[in-house]
Amino acid sequence: MEAGRVFKITINGQAVEARADDTILKAAQREGIHIPTLCYHRQLSPYGGCRVCVVSVEGIPRLVASCTMPVTDGMQVRTDSEQIRKIRSTVVELILSNHPKDCMVCEQSGRCELQDLAYEFGLSHIRFKGEVSVHEIENQNPVLERDYNKCILCGRCVRMCDEIQGVGAVDFSKRGFRAKIATAYDGVLDCEFCGNCIGACPVGALTGKPSRFKGRPWEVRKVKTVCNYCGCGCSIMVNVKGGEVVRVTPVEDGGINEGMLCVKGKFGFEYINHEDRLKTPLVKKNGAFVEASWDEALDVVAANLGRIKKKYGSDSIGGLCSAKCSSEDNYLFQKFMRTAIGTNSVDHCARY
C-alpha cells in the first residue's frame, strides 16, 4: 500500500532516501554504507539469526537486526558505536569458538564470509573455550559434501532449498547447542543436487566434491559463458586453473537464471578433462574403430557425406550434436548442417 512512498531517514547522520518496503540494511547498502552480515542473502527472506548486522535506532531501546527491521519515515539509524562493534565482535567470536580452525585446507578460504568477519574484527584470540560440535561428514552422493562441523546455522541453505528451489530437503533439527541442519530423520540427502545451497553457504560447510582441492578462489580465471546442457541458457562462470575447468559458479548478478544452477550446470564439467574422453578421431576399419589423424578422419566424413548428399539429396542427412560440446561448437555444427549440407534436420540432445 505504501510501497511507492519514499521515506527520509538518516544513517549515521547522513540523509538517505529509502523506499517504504526497505529494511535498514537495504537502504544502507544502496548508499554504500557498510553493515556486516552473515545470515543475510540478497535473494532469500530476511532471517535475523546471526545478529552481526545489529544497529541502533533512535527511540528503540534495544539494538535491532538491520536485515529484518523495516524503515519508517524519519528513522535515525547508527550503524557503528562501541556497543555495536562489541556485540558484533562477540557474536563472531562465539561462532568461532565452535568452528574448526582449518582454514588452510578449507575450500571456502578466500571467499569465506566468516573468515572475512574474523579479519574485520581482528579476532586473533578467542576468549571462550568449551565443547565443539562433532558431526560425521555427509557425502554419500557423487557431488555434494556436507561438513556440518563447519556449519554456523545461518539457515541460508535451508531457505535457498525451500524458497528458491522449492525442495525443502534440509531444515533445522534439535535445539540449543545441539541444533543442526539435517535431512528428515537424518536420512541420506534426497534432493535434486542442484548445489544452490553451496552457493548460499557463507562458509565451507557445503562444498562440491568434483572441485575439492582443485583450486583456490584467487588462483582461478573466471570465464563467463552460457551453459549448454539445455535450452534455458543459464549464465555460468567457468572457473579455470591451468587450462583445466575446476569449478562452475553462477553469475551472481546476471543471466536468466539469476544465479541459480541445476545439477548438470553446476557439477557436470568433469567430462572435459576425463581420461575416457576421446582425444583423437576413430575411423572404423574392418568392423573395428582405429585411431586416425584429423585429416584422415575429415576426409572419410567429407567423402561419405558428399556421396550420400549427391545420391539421395540433402534431406537424407540429419545431424545430432551434444551438450558436451561447447556452445560455439554447437553453433558451428548447425551452421554446417544448414549451409554445407543444406538441411534443417539438425538436433541436439537437449533439444534446443
Partner 1 sequence: MNSRPKSISISVCMGTGGIAAGGAEVMEAFEEALAHLGLAAELREKCTAHKVGCRGFCARDVLVDVVLDGQRTTYECVQADMVPRLVEEHIVGGVPVEQWLAGPDYEAFHAGQTKVVLSDCGSIDPEEIDAYLAVDGYTAIQKVLGEMLPEEVITKIKDSGLRGRGGAGFPTGLKWSFAAMAKGNEKYIICNADEGDPGAFMDRSIVEGNPHALIEGMSIAGYAIGANLGYVYIRAEYPLAVQRLAHAIEQARAREFLGKNIRNAGFDFDIQIKQGAGAFVCGEETALIASIEGGRGMPRPKPPFPAHRGLWGKPTIINNVETLANLPYIIRKGSEWFASLGSEKSKGTKVFALTGKVCNTGLIEVPMGIALKEIIYGIGGGIEGGRQFKAVQTGGPSGGCIPAELLDTPVDYESLAQVGAIMGSGGMVVMDEDNCMVEMARYFLHFTQEESCGKCVPCRVGTKRMLEILERIVAGQGEAGDLELLLDLGEDIKAASLCGLGQTAPNPVISTIRYFRDEYDAHIVHKRCPAGVCKALFEYQVVEPLCKLCGLCVRKCPVGAIEGGKKKLAKIKDRKCVKCGICIEVCPFDAITQIDIHETAEV
The three grid cell numbers given for residue 179, joined into one nine-digit string: 541444533
The three grid cell numbers given for residue 32, joined into one nine-digit string: 554504500
What is the smallest separation between the CB atom of 63 and partner 1, expressed in angstroms?
6
What is the smallest separation between the CB atom of 202 and partner 1, expressed in angstroms?
13
What is the smallest separation between the CB atom of 46 and partner 1, expressed in angstroms?
8
What is the smallest separation between the CB atom of 78 and partner 1, expressed in angstroms?
14
What is the smallest separation between the CB atom of 95 and partner 1, expressed in angstroms?
6
**Residue 82: left if φ>0, alpha if ψ -120 to 50, beta else—which one?**
alpha
Q: Which is closer to partner 1, CB of 5 or CB of 222?
A: 5
Q: How far, in whole angstroms, is CA 186 from its chain's centroid?
A: 24
Q: Which is closer to partner 1, CB of 92 or CB of 164?
A: 92
347/323 Cα distance (integer angstroms): 11
Q: Which is closer to partner 1, CB of 95 or CB of 200?
A: 95
| Under 8 Å between Cβ of 342 and 309 | yes
Q: Which is closer to partner 1, CB of 128 or CB of 331?
A: 128
What is the smallest separation between the CB atom of 275 and partner 1, expressed in angstroms?
45
Q: Which is closer to partner 1, CB of 70 or CB of 217?
A: 70
Q: Which is closer to partner 1, CB of 176 or CB of 231?
A: 176
- Which pairing describes strands 144-146 and 180-182: parallel, antiparallel, or unpaired? unpaired
Q: Which is closer to partner 1, CB of 37 or CB of 257?
A: 37
What is the smallest separation between the CB atom of 133 and partner 1, expressed in angstroms?
10
121/94 Cα distance (integer angstroms): 13
100/106 Cα distance (integer angstroms): 10
Q: Which is closer to partner 1, CB of 60 or CB of 282?
A: 60
212/106 Cα distance (integer angstroms): 9
233/224 Cα distance (integer angstroms): 12
What is the smallest separation between the CB atom of 67 and partner 1, expressed in angstroms?
9
Binding site for partner 1 (CB under 8 A): 46, 48-51, 54, 62-65, 68-70, 83, 86-87, 90-91, 94-95, 97-98, 127-131, 152-153, 155, 171-172, 174-180
